Structure formats: C-alpha cells, structure tokens
Amino acid sequence: MMGTGKSTVADMLARELGYRLIDVDAAVEKEEGCTIPELFTGKGETYFRDAESRMLCSVLEKKSQVIATGGGVVLRSDNCDVMLKNGWVVALTADPAVIVERVSGCDNRPLLAGNAEERIQAIMEERKDAYRFAHYTVDTTELSAAEVTRLILAHYRV
C-alpha cells in the first residue's frame, strides 16, 4: 500500500545487502517517458497496470536486487505468482490514518484524486486480502524505516 515506506525501506535494504535497488514505478516512468500521473491521465489505469506487469516480469529475471513495487501491483494475481516464484516477498502495511498523514500533500498519486482519506479507506478495503500472499508482512505504523529494515533482514537471513 502507498505510504507504508516501501521506497525508503527498499533503499535501506538494498544498501545493507549490497544489492541493486529497482523501483518498478520509476522504471515504468523511464520506459514510458512520462510520469505515472501522466500515464493515468493520458492512457488510463489499465495501460499503466499492463506496463507495470511487463516491467515487473522484466526486472525479476535478475538476481541480487531489492525491488520496490507500487502498491497496486498485487491487483493482478499473475504478478503475485511471478513475485513468489522469483523472490522473497515482503508486504508493508500501516494504519489508514498514518498513511493519510504520510501521503498528504503528494500530488503525484493519481489514485488519491479527490478526498485522500476516503480514497485511502476505499483502496485499503478493496485490497484488504491482496497482500496476504507475501512471505512476510510488517506493520510500519509505529516503526522507523530503520526498524522495519532490521525486522525484514532478521527474517530474510533465517
């Protein structure tokens, strides 16, 4: 889910492990030559999700990397399957009020157009079971990014 710390924690994990960091959203933006909000506006969410799925499959072909995906990548079961087949999957969660606080003022999140608090509640309800496939889940509500990173590493190295 957006606002849970995926990008920050992925960066910290990659540094700690000496792995390459891949941000799927950034890779899609680079390949498409525009921002995700521009993709949503110009070509629609379905087009973006198709590009996201293609990029995910492409980056999963390599090893020794930490991949940060967008929160909506789990909306397609094929994406979940390919992540499980090719990596160790961590889901980050947080309390809706904390997510609202973390993403307030962000204008680059097309799914939050309108009332961000209502949209976050709706998205979380829609996706409430979508992240259960992950090997490990961390609630980031009351944890720093460093604490989340330490928890993940402790489970990853087992």
In three-state form (DSSP H/G/I as H, E/B as E, the rest C), the secondary structure along the chain is CCCCCHHHHHHHHHHHHCCEEEEHHHHHHHHHCCCHHHHHHHHCHHHHHHHHHHHHHHHCCCCCEEEECCHHHHHCHHHHHHHHHHCCCEEEECCHHHHHHHHCCCCCCHHHCCCHHHHHHHHHHHCCCCCCCCCEEEECCCCCHHHHHHHHHHHHCC
Tell whether the model's pLDDT for residue 82 goes beyond 90: yes
Distance (Å, whole) CA 42 – CA 153:
39
User: Does the pLDDT of residue 109 top 70, yes or no?
Assistant: no
Indicate the pLDDT class of residue 80, thresholds 50, 70 and 90: very high
Residue 6 has pLDDT above 70, yes or no: yes
Q: Is the pTM of this model over 0.75?
A: yes
Q: To 5 degrees, how large is the angle CA 125–CA 21–CA 109?
A: 35
pLDDT at 110 over 60: no
Instruction: Tell me the β-bridge partners of 138.
Output: 92
CA distance 95 to 64: 31
Predicted confidence (pLDDT) per residue in 26-71, tens digit: 999 999 999 988 998 999 989 999 999 999 999 999 999 999 998 8
State the chain's mean pLDDT as an integer.
90
- Band of the pLDDT at 25, cuts 50, 70, 90? very high
